[in-house]
């Protein structure tokens, strides 16, 4: 971008401290919002900011989008180049796994890599993290283990609300009934009970109890009386914070004298920081990583916000420790040679920029008023979040007519298509505008029956168009009927998009999956898309880079500074 500004390393005339000098009206305006410690320089449109790690970080954030002319190149290079101890070259863990045979109680056929997953669970004595990529059948491997290991019943399955019915169906499909005398009844299935109320009452005797994370602590007393032998935590990244009620409830259940087997399932066990793995492992294998304090002292450093970040030179050794003792991780590319690739496209489409910038002006005015009236830091943060959510929605509305045309063009070749969006108003407008294709929907607030009916209609080909909410339709469903997935709106978290893509890209998919990220030209979509599309965002293990969800205050402030800049320069 021309004439945005300059960056120079200077000895400040008044403080006699080496600092950063930034010039240029737009650059000064933006940096002043991001670095409160900034002070005026000698000339107009000139600002001085302290030479600190935080300041350099904020300058780098701006320069990723608005390149400044660097007048002190050698000083800048010294500041931004990370100097870490070289990564240790540890040999990869090679699992000595065999193709185990499932017990008689299991109904169905395992693929070869799933038989090896069963062997891993058996060798781990059922205290393990199954971290295979999404779509590789972690549920089936877990049920095969329950059917094979001795004395696993009753089983408690803790899972996200939207996956409870799926667990019930999978149990009915794969688990044969075993009578009290141990005889297998081929024609009947294991019994299961879904717990849907937080009201305390005695639970019936059954083989499987299925409950969602949010309800768990309310029924802790009832569940503690059942002599549970196995606990399965699906999407176990829900337990990545040790301060939540759901974590504390699972921790208590996992410590019951009757409990022998603890299994965690997640294709994305680490969402944001490597230290999130500690609470999960502490439930599955207590003591393996020491206390949280010991874990942090050895593996982590604490950043300026008090978050424990795994040191780069310790990540390889942490991954090896996990793989030796508790975690199995396989990628689709390793075990499903017949599964076609997943291809992502960033597609820039037109947007109504007049509407967009007009609405941005209103958002900015409202934000400035709220910031002025805010009495607490919480009020200020909440105000930022409201502004960002509003910006996302107007970006979606601004490009909506062109999103609709794009979807119609795909539909013309008579292919099944899944369209993901974020806001309910966008979902509603898409549904109304594409009514000619009789679309089915997944959206928050649906009953389990309605949701499953919509999925079944799509999978049977009764409708070729599915419109789904990003956060409502990214887990617990199978949409392999389609090979085209379109993101009409973008989420801040790469993991959310990957989970959504993998509703299509999983066992049963015979085609290449094409994922289209529709970017509104002239909006801030392109900034978010560069993060989502260009990064591989493979959260495979602790060795991956920390996933940047762009949901923290720094990123919020940067985006809002960009909004203001766009309004000023228009």
Domains, the chain, in order of start with CATH, read: 6-80 (no CATH), 112-285+327-335 (3.40.50.10810), 342-569 (3.40.50.300)
Q: Which residues of 484-496 are buried (b: 16+ CB within 10 A; e: fewer)?
A: bbbbbbbbbbbbb
Categorize the per-residue pLDDT at 130 as very low, low, confident or very high, splitting at 50, 70 and 90.
very high
Q: Which of 151, 215, 164 is nearest to 193 (CA)?
A: 164
25: three-class secondary structure by DSSP = helix
Q: Which residues pair with 129 in a beta bridge?
A: 264, 327
The region of weakest confidence among 64-73, 74-83, 160-169, 360-369 is 74-83
Q: Is the per-residue pLDDT at 566 higher than 70?
A: no
Residue 545 has what pLDDT?
A: 39
Q: Is the per-residue pLDDT at 497 higher than 90?
A: no
The residue-averaged pLDDT of 1-16 equals: 77
8-state DSSP, 341:
P
Residue in the block written with tokens 């794009």: 406
Query: How many residues would you count in the chain?
Result: 570
Categorize the per-residue pLDDT at 548 as very low, low, confident or very high, splitting at 50, 70 and 90.
very low
The span from the CA of 147 to the CA of 174, in Å, is 9
Full-prediction pTM beyond 0.75?
A: no
Categorize the per-residue pLDDT at 492 as very low, low, confident or very high, splitting at 50, 70 and 90.
low
Residue 115 has what pLDDT?
A: 94
Contacts of 144 (CB under 8 A, 6+ apart): 102, 103, 106, 108, 110, 114, 118, 174
Residue 338 has what pLDDT?
A: 66
The span from the CA of 392 to the CA of 386, in Å, is 10
Mean pLDDT of the chain: 81
Is the pLDDT higher at 524 or at 410?
410
185: three-class secondary structure by DSSP = strand
Residue 232 has what pLDDT?
A: 97
> What Rg do the C-alpha atoms of the chain give, in angstroms?
26
The span from the CA of 110 to the CA of 99, in Å, is 10
Categorize the per-residue pLDDT at 481 as very low, low, confident or very high, splitting at 50, 70 and 90.
confident
The span from the CA of 548 to the CA of 80, in Å, is 18
Categorize the per-residue pLDDT at 2 as very low, low, confident or very high, splitting at 50, 70 and 90.
low
Is the pLDDT higher at 486 or at 524?
486
Residue 139 has what pLDDT?
A: 94
The region of weakest confidence among 14-28, 37-51, 319-333, 527-541 is 527-541
Categorize the per-residue pLDDT at 478 as very low, low, confident or very high, splitting at 50, 70 and 90.
confident
Q: How many helices and strands (H and E) does the chain possess? A: 20, 22
Q: Is the per-residue pLDDT at 188 higher than 60?
A: yes
Q: Compute the CA torsion angle 359, 362, 364, 368 (nearest 10 deg).
A: -170
Q: Is the per-residue pLDDT at 271 higher than 80?
A: no
The residue-averaged pLDDT of 467-477 equals: 75
Residue 114 has what pLDDT?
A: 93
pLDDT tens per residue across span 287-320:
899 999 888 888 887 776 677 877 777 777 888 8
18: three-class secondary structure by DSSP = strand
Q: Is the per-residue pLDDT at 228 higher than 90?
A: yes
pLDDT tens per residue across span 398-431:
888 888 888 888 887 767 889 998 888 888 999 8
456: three-class secondary structure by DSSP = helix
Q: For strand 127-130 and strand 327-328, is the pairing parallel, antiparallel, or unpaired?
A: parallel
């Amino acid at each position: 971008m021309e004439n945005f500004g300059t960056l120079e390393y200077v000895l400040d005339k008044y403080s006699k401290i080496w600092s950063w000098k930034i010039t240029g009206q737009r650059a000064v305006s933006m940096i002043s919002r991001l670095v409160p410690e900034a002070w005026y320089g000698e000339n107009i449109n000139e600002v001085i900011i302290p030479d600190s790690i935080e300041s350099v970080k904020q300058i780098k954030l701006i320069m990723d989008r608005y390149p400044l002319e660097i007048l002190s190149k050698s000083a800048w290079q010294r500041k931004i180049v990370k100097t870490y101890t070289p990564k240790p070259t540890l040999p990869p863990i090679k699992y000595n796994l065999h193709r185990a045979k499932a017990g008689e109680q299991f109904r169905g056929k395992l693929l070869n890599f799933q038989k090896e997953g069963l062997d891993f669970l058996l060798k781990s004595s059922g205290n393990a993290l199954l971290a295979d990529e999404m779509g590789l059948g972690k549920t089936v491997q877990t049920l095969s283990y329950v059917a094979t290991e001795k004395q696993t019943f009753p089983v408690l399955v803790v899972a996200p609300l939207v996956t409870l019915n799926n667990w019930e169906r999978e149990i009915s499909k794969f688990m044969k009934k075993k009578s009290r005398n141990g005889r297998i009844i081929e024609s009947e299935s294991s019994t299961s009970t879904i717990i849907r109320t937080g009201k305390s009452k005695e639970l019936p005797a059954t083989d499987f109890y299925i409950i969602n994370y949010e309800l768990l602590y309310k029924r802790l007393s009832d569940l503690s009386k059942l002599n549970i032998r196995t606990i399965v935590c699906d999407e176990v990244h829900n337990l990545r914070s040790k301060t939540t009620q759901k974590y504390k409830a699972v921790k208590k259940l996992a410590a019951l004298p009757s409990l022998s087997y603890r299994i965690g399932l997640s294709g994305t066990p680490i969402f944001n920081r490597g230290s999130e793995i500690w609470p999960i492992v502490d439930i599955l294998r207590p003591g393996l990583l020491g206390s949280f304090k010991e874990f942090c002292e050895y593996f982590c450093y604490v950043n300026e916000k008090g978050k424990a970040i795994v040191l780069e030179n310790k990540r390889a050794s942490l991954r090896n420790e996990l793989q030796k003792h508790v975690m199995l991780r396989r990628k689709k590319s390793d075990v499903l040679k017949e599964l076609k690739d997943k291809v992502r496209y960033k597609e820039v489409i037109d947007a109504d920029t007049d509407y967009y910038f007009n609405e941005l002006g209103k958002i900015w005015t409202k934000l400035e008023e709220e910031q002025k009236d805010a009495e607490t830091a919480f009020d200020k943060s909440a105000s930022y979040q409201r502004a960002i959510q509003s910006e996302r929605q107007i970006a979606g509305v601004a490009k909506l007519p062109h999103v609709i045309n794009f979807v119609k063009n795909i539909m013309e070749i008579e292919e099944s298509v899944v369209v993901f969006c974020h806001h309910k108003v966008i979902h509603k407008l898409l549904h109304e505008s594409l009514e000619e294709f009789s679309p089915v929907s997944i959206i928050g607030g649906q009953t389990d029956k309605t949701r499953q009916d919509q999925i079944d209609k799509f999978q049977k080909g009764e409708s070729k168009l599915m419109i789904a909410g990003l956060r409502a339709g990214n887990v617990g469903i199978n949409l392999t009927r389609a090979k085209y997935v379109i993101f009409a709106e973008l989420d801040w978290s790469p993991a959310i998009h990957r989970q959504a893509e993998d509703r299509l890209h999983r066992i049963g998919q015979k085609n290449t999956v094409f994922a289209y990220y529709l970017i509104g030209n002239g909006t801030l979509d392109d900034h978010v898309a560069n993060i989502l599309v260009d990064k591989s965002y493979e959260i495979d293990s602790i060795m991956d880079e920390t996933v940047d969800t762009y949901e923290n205050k720094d990123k919020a402030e940067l985006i809002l500074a960009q909004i203001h800049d766009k309004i000023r320069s228009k």
